[in-house]
Amino acid sequence: MSPGSQVNGDSRQVTFMERIERGEKIEATDWMPEEYRKLLIKQIHMHGISEVMGAYPEKEWVPKAPNLRRKLALIAKVQDEIGHGQLLLRVAEDLAKPYGKVRDDMIEDVYTGRVKFHNVFHMDAPTWADAGVIGFLVDGGAIITQASLLDSSYAPYGRILTRICAEESFHMQHGESIVLALAEGTEEQREMLQQAIHHWWPSMMFFFGPPEMSGASLRMMDYRIRTRTNEELRQRFIGRYAPRIHALGLTIPDAKLCHDPTTDQWTYSEPDWDWFGHMVRENTGPKSQERLQMRKQAHEGQKWVRDAMIRATVLQTQAI
């Protein structure tokens, strides 16, 4: 399925695919096929919005953090997530310019249901252990995905991910620090941690997507927007995190989970694809509606500030 064959006789398409196949990087100002542009917008818009929505489960724990240092660290992390959202939406905006899409549209799309966000951020975080496990497993999974995108064919995406990954490094250590503190704590704390691992594991299996990838995902592989399959990423995640959870003396809620040393592959129980898929499409997760409502409220409630800034700038320009 050569993308070049879709637009017969369009030499630009052919030249573009040759560039991709040579491993060249594409810039925002380069000519690109509309399909490539649309796939990138879909991916980066969803990624950016997921960063923003990713701040919500953890922000809930800021007022309840067990001490000041944890509270400061959690605030720092929430700031980082929103910051990553801003950087990614900026990359998406440049791509969406030909369609007249601006920041407001990109933000509003999440609560009008035109853009989805990662399944993990629809879930509830009932205990402090959940706040830790989000940093441990969810950030771990997100880093594995993002690290695989560092070599994306779209240079502005790869560049911004380099910066994001550097900051994620702190998120990873922060999450592990909470998890380790609980793991070496009382029986009650260990039980809380165990519950949180059980709570998040199926979500993490869904996080990387189905082994059989969708048409759009496969096209992203053709264009080298991404270079790893869902299954490769999931295998790396399990390979890194299952042994760590076991080392803590905790269990993973999957009787099928085991490692085959000859193939270096893990067998695992598939998550409920339909349930999670429906949740992400329809925003029907335990916390989807509540968080979307907060996002809408934040965006619309602050509209007057954005408007006032624009009016002030216009007045200033007129005065000169």
Partner 1 sequence: MADNKENDPESQHYDVYEVFVQRDPLGYHTHIGSVVAASSEMAQIVARENFLRRDTAISIWVVRQTNIHETSYEDTDFFVNRATDKSYRDVAGYVDNAKKWKAFKERAITIDDLVRDAKR
Which of 168, 192, 206, 288 touches partner 1 (CB under 8 A)?
168
Q: Which of 174, 199, 224, 234 binds partner 1 (CB under 8 A)?
A: 174
Q: Would you count residue 94 as binding partner 1 (CB under 8 A)?
A: no
- Could you tell me the smallest distance in angstroms from the CB atom of residue 144 to partner 1? 6
Region from 86-94, 110-118, 178-186, 289-297 binding partner 1, contact rule CB under 8 A: 178-186
Site string for partner 1, 189-228 (x = CB under 8 A): ---------------------------------------x
Q: How many residues line the site for partner 1 (CB under 8 A)?
A: 39
Q: Which is nearer to partner 1, 35 or 176 (CB)?
A: 176
Applying CB under 8 A, does 114 fall inside the site for partner 1?
A: no
What residues contact residue 237 under an 8 Å CB cut-off, 6+ apart?
A: 140, 141, 144, 204, 208
Q: How far is the CB of 25 from partner 1 (least distance, A)?
A: 4
Rounded Cα gap, residues 295 and 54, in angstroms: 11
Among 8, 11, 187, 247, binds partner 1 (CB under 8 A): 247
**Contact status: 169 vs partner 1 (CB under 8 A):** yes
Q: To the nearest whole angstrom, how small is the minimum distance from the Cβ of residue 244 to partner 1?
A: 6
- Determine which residue in the list 7, 24, 190, 198 makes contact with partner 1, applying CB under 8 A: 24
The reply to whether 180 sits near partner 1 by the rule CB under 8 A is yes
CA-to-CA distance for 51 and 48, rounded, in angstroms?
A: 5
Which residues sit at the interface with partner 1, rule CB under 8 A? 24-25, 69, 72-73, 76, 140, 143-144, 147-148, 150-151, 155, 158-159, 162, 165-166, 168-170, 172-174, 176-177, 180, 183-184, 228, 236, 239-240, 243-244, 247-249
